[in-house]
Amino acid sequence: MKRVLEPELMDDERQSIAYAKADFSTSNQFFVDSLIRDFPGHLRRAIDIGCGPGDVVIRLARAVPDLQITAIDGSAPMVALAREAVRAAGLDDRVSVVQGYVPDSSLESTGFDAVLSKDLLHHLPDPSVLWREITRLGRPGAAAYVMDLVRPDTPDAARRIVDAVASREDPILREDFYNSLLAAFTVDEVQRQLIDNDLAFEVTRVSDRHMVIRGLTSP
């Protein structure tokens, strides 16, 4: 099945609210736990590209008390939801949520010990944007940790995944999830992207619908 692009940003407020209310706790906690396990010495100053409503950065900040996080998203409704969630969690002093669209030259180059992203890659028409930004934003030897969807073989297979894991979610969220699966990359495609961008990261499929890309930037 060929990739079918979807919009880069969730600018619709209803979409953003449906996404924020959806239960992504399993994959979000997996992301946080795996990051801490794989790169415990790199969690001092991190940036999360495409933070969405902020659940990942809140979980991460609670798990790593000394970590300072910059969380960026291009969607104004998502940024508003993330700021509200961070404030409600009492983490304003350690998590800064800003509206930013990668590539963003206003973000400090080579300033972060860890560059993170979850469920952003499939939104990008040109995936090299993310890989170049990881290289630019991370200090030499920074940890890169990306988790994203894997494109199924057929539209029917994508629909079965939606039915299996999101049957009780808002219809708006279900349709967005389906479109995201169609817009996702395969493991082989991501491996070729990394080669094209001179990145020696590891790509691992971790579930029927997720892959993790991790490694260190060049020293």
- What's the Cα-to-Cα distance from 83 to each of 29, 77, 96, 140, 165, rounded to whole Å? 20, 10, 8, 30, 27
Residues 6+ apart with CB under 8 A from 39: 114, 143, 145, 214
| β 138-149/210-216 pair status | antiparallel
Report the pLDDT value the prediction gives residue 14, as an integer from 0 to 100. 75
Residues in the chain: 219
Helices 13-21 and 171-183 pack at an angle, to 10 degrees, of 90
Tokens representing residue 55 in the block = 């659940």
Asked if 51 and 82 touch (Cβ cutoff 8 Å), the reply is yes
Report the pLDDT value the prediction gives residue 15, as an integer from 0 to 100. 78
Asked if 75 and 54 touch (Cβ cutoff 8 Å), the reply is no
CB atoms within 10 A of CB 149: 22
Closest among 68, 67, 72 to 82, alpha carbons compared = 72
The tens-digit pLDDT sequence of the chain (219 residues) is 999 998 766 666 777 777 868 889 999 999 999 999 999 999 999 999 999 999 999 999 999 999 999 999 999 999 999 999 999 999 999 999 999 888 776 777 778 999 999 999 999 999 999 999 999 999 999 999 999 999 999 999 999 999 999 999 989 889 999 999 999 999 999 999 999 999 999 999 999 999 999 999 998
Tokens representing residue 50 in the block = 């495409």
Domains, the chain, ordered by start:
13-216 (3.40.50.150)
How many whole angstroms separate alpha carbon 162 and alpha carbon 177?
Answer: 7
**Considering the entire predicted model, what is its pTM?**
0.94
Report the pLDDT value the prediction gives residue 217, as an integer from 0 to 100. 96
For 28, the 3-state DSSP assignment is helix
Phi, psi of 40 (to 5 degrees): -65, -25
Helices 76-88 and 55-63 pack at an angle, to 10 degrees, of 30
Phi, psi of 93 (to 5 degrees): -75, -15
